[in-house]
A and B are shown apart, each in its own frame.
Chain A
Amino acid sequence: MEKKLPKIEIIEKYCKGCHICVEFCPTKVLEMKGFYATVKNLEACIKCMQCELRCPDFAIKVITE
């Protein structure tokens, strides 16, 4: 069965580049690209929502069906 991938939305206007989401993602889905966080490896996402919970700046939304 094909795995349904979530959509990870990063609002660059809100992101302050603190690295929290990148460091604490258990499967290393995110990376820093310049000042902002970006999605590097969406296939590895297990939808644990830790990045969304820990983002202090309301910049990440993990949208699952």
Chain B
Amino acid sequence: MAFDYDKYIRPGKLPHIWCPGCGHGIVMKGLIRAMDTLGLKKENTAIVSGIGCASRLPGYIDCCTLHTAHGRAAAFATGVKLAKPEMNVILCGGDGDGTAIGGNHFIHACRRNIDMTYIIMNNYIYGMTGGQFSPATPTGHKASTTPYGNPDPCFDIAKLAIGAGATFVARGTAFHANQIDKLIVEAIQHKGFSVVEILDDCPTTYGRRNKYKSVIEMMNRLKEVAVPVKAAEKMTAEQLQGKILTGVLYKEEKPEYTAEYAKVIERAQAK
């Protein structure tokens, strides 16, 4: 039977605003399937986002949603989670929103290890504002503000999250659609700050400037560069040149922030 996405979508909101071929729709479907697998209730799930193409996602999903200031999704979500620790808090955003404008909020949410799931849709560019380069734009690639090629080295968002202290880090791609919901399910189930980076395509502002002829070419690139973590173990460093690892990259158990904060409250009230 076809999966019924309609029961999770706000009535009358489709078709969405994303461009033809944009992978954000594929990620949204993955998130909806993950919510269905876990049986998350609408009134008990909060999706928080900042500003950007990817951050339009909560507007379509029928549950508690919060569309906040640019890059501040992690800050608002921390407030939601601390006020209502029983809620499932999911953050959505793009690479620019998450790692540049909200970079500070992102690393500190990772450090605190608060029980939330951050889905970062990495399309290598600021799509909504006109294609400016983001910290995830690869060196040498073109954007509207770097017409002769971007001189900056780019962030590896998964490594940044691991370094900042996130306890669950995974990576998928928009091409590998049936892996997305599995990664998100695992991330939501993990107790602690989980980051799921989904490599995405932006045909309108990124593909066009970087000689990708079509959406299909961008999708094929994702297919070619992605290597599952298990397969990568058997590969040599030479074979892994230019490849991107996908799957669950890092997982560890650490004390969770809301639980630790409850202990602080207890200690303060005992005196």
Chain A contact residues, CB within 8 Å of chain B: 9, 13-14, 16-20, 23-24, 50, 52-58, 61-65
Main secondary structure of the interface of B (DSSP, over half): loop
B228 close to A (CB within 8 Å): no
B3 touches A52 (CB 8 A): yes
Which among B3, B16, B175, B214 is the interface contact of A57 at CB below 8 angstroms?
Answer: B16
Question: What is the bound-complex CA distance between A50 and B29, given in angstroms?
Answer: 13
CB distance from A2 to the nearest CB of B (A): 20
Taking a contact as CB atoms under 8 Å apart, the answer to whether A52 and B23 are in contact is: no
* B18 contacts chain A at the CB level, 8 A cutoff: yes
Cα–Cα, bound, A24→B215 (Å)? 12
Determine whether the beta carbon of B15 is less than 8 Å from that of A57: yes
Q: Does B21 contact A (CB under 8 A)?
A: yes
Question: In the complex the two chains form, is A14's CB within 8 Å of B2's CB?
Answer: no
Bound state CA distance, A50 and B178, in angstroms? 9
B136 at the interface (CB under 8 A from A): no
Tell me the bound Cα distance from A18 to B19 in angstroms. Answer: 9
Contacts A56-B23, A57-B16 given; 19 further ones with Cβ under 8 A? A13-B15, A14-B15, A16-B21, A17-B20, A18-B215, A20-B215, A23-B219, A53-B26, A53-B29, A53-B177, A53-B178, A54-B175, A55-B26, A56-B174, A57-B25, A61-B2, A63-B1, A63-B2, A65-B1
Distance between B149 CB and nearest chain A CB, rounded to angstroms: 28
* B15-A56 in contact (CB<8A): no
